[in-house]
């Protein structure tokens, strides 16, 4: 359904890089078909969404001041962004979204916003590690795409962060090259679905803005996993992904 708007609409105009707009479209598209962007408590452009099964959650914000909220279908925006070159792209927000640069212009109708309150998990994590996104992606791709594992277990030991995968045909253990940010003396272990982890890491690895950054891996026994992009400078987007653990019956 198209959004019904009053005659008096506040127009905003923001300038983004193509990489930023790709993240704005592709990240929520992992979990939902449409998304509402709105100001967070600091008036920064942000969105938060959860997949229909309530297994995974995304919390993302960009360092751009925003007054009003807007909503769109993620596939529609992603398809438009693909046509642009690498120049900066202006986004005008009114009853529709107007995206343009020096070479082209596109209009995208807003949809009715679904402004749901999605609380974030508040968890004191027992283990936090950090490693390069591109290195983590290589590991996850090998386990999920090549070796066909469905689940991955994170294990904390005296040597650092280890992962373990088991299926009916094989099992794999691997020590990751990761910096220990914090961990207690417990041998933490938690299992998560690669079906959800792989697409998220794939988006980060394919985007020029994030592929050379680090990913923070936070987990505890039978608690949700938190994967967050480490922000080396203040103007980077904040990207956090939460995933419920697999609990054995």
- Same CATH topology for 12-109 and 127-243: the answer is no
pLDDT digits (tens, 9 = 90+) for 76-117: 999 999 999 878 999 999 999 999 999 999 999 999 887 678
Q: Can you tell me the distance from the alpha carbon of 235 to that of 20, in angstroms, rounded to the nearest whole number? A: 11
Q: Can you tell me the distance from the alpha carbon of 35 to that of 198, in angstroms, rounded to the nearest whole number? A: 21
Please, which contacts does 98-102 make with residues 24 or more away whose CB atoms are closer than 8 Å? 99/21
- CATH code of the region 127-243: 3.70.10.10
Q: 60: buried, middle or exposed (CB in 10 Å: 19+, 13-18, 0-12)?
A: buried
Instruction: Tell me if the pTM is above 0.75.
Output: yes
* Helix residue ranges per DSSP H, 64-216: 74-83, 133-141, 194-206
pLDDT digits (tens, 9 = 90+) for 55-66: 999 999 999 999
Q: Can you tell me the distance from the alpha carbon of 135 to that of 152, in angstroms, rounded to the nearest whole number? A: 16
Q: Can you tell me the distance from the alpha carbon of 194 to that of 197, in angstroms, rounded to the nearest whole number? A: 5
Q: Can you tell me the distance from the alpha carbon of 138 to that of 128, in angstroms, rounded to the nearest whole number? A: 20
Q: Can you tell me the distance from the alpha carbon of 47 to that of 61, in angstroms, rounded to the nearest whole number? A: 6
| 3-state class (DSSP) for residue 177 | coil
Q: What pLDDT score was predicted for residue 33?
A: 95
pLDDT digits (tens), the chain, 249 positions: 444 444 445 789 999 999 999 999 999 999 999 999 999 999 999 999 999 999 999 999 999 999 999 999 999 999 999 999 878 999 999 999 999 999 999 999 999 887 678 889 999 999 999 999 999 999 999 999 999 999 999 998 777 899 999 999 999 999 999 998 887 766 788 999 999 999 999 999 999 999 999 999 999 998 999 999 998 777 889 999 999 999 765
Fold of 12-109: DNA Polymerase III; Chain A, domain 2 (3.10.150)
Please, which contacts does 142-149 make with residues 24 or more away whose CB atoms are closer than 8 Å? 143/172, 143/194, 144/194, 144/195, 144/197, 144/198, 145/198, 147/172, 149/194
Give the domain ranges of the chain: 12-109, 127-243
């Amino acid at each position: 359904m198209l959004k019904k708007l009053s005659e008096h609409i506040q127009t905003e105009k923001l300038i983004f890089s193509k990489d930023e707009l790709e993240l704005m479209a592709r990240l929520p598209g992992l979990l939902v078909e449409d998304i509402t962007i709105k100001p967070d408590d600091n008036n920064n452009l942000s969105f938060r969404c959860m997949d229909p099964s309530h297994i995974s959650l995304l919390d993302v914000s960009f360092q751009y001041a925003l007054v009003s909220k807007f909503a769109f279908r993620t596939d529609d925006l992603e398809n438009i962004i693909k046509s642009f070159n690498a120049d900066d792209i202006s986004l005008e927000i009114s009853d529709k979204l107007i995206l343009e640069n020096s070479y082209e212009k596109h209009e995208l109708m807003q949809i009715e916003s679904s402004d749901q309150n999605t609380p974030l998990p508040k968890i004191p994590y027992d283990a936090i590690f950090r490693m390069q996104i591109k290195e983590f992606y290589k590991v996850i791709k090998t386990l999920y795409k090549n070796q066909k594992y469905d689940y991955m277990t994170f294990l904390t030991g005296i040597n650092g962060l280890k992962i373990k995968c088991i299926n009916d045909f094989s099992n794999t253990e691997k020590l990751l090259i990761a910096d220990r940010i914090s961990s207690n003396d417990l041998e933490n272990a938690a299992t998560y679905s690669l079906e959800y982890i792989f697409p998220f890491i794939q988006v980060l690895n394919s985007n020029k803005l994030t592929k050379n950054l680090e990913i923070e891996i936070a987990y505890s026994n039978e608690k949700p996993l938190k994967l967050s992009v480490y922000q080396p400078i203040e103007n980077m987007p904040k990207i956090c992904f939460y995933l419920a653990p697999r609990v054995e019956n």
